[in-house]
Amino acid sequence: MNQANLSQKVKFGDCDAAGIVFYPNYFAWFDPTFHSWLLPHGGHGALVTRLGAIGIGLMQVYRPNG
């Protein structure tokens, strides 16, 4: 499986009062990682063309139970 790694420094403003990362920040970090994975594969346009797709979904997220 192909992987892409991107280091992200978690800043004070990324967290709530308890020091836990505010979950929407993860989505902002996923996007550049996804695009860094796409670059060696020819970028978004090349992958869409190869798959015969209109676009590519970045992720599938489920709401936690509770």
Q: How far apart are CA 64 and CA 66, in angstroms?
A: 6
Residue 66 pLDDT > 60: no
The domain ranges of the chain are 12-51
CA dihedral 8, 13, 17, 23 (to 10 degrees): -50
- Tell me what the pLDDT averaged over the chain comes to: 83
46-61 pLDDT, tens digit per residue, is 888 888 888 777 667 7
Whole-number CA gyration radius for the chain? 15
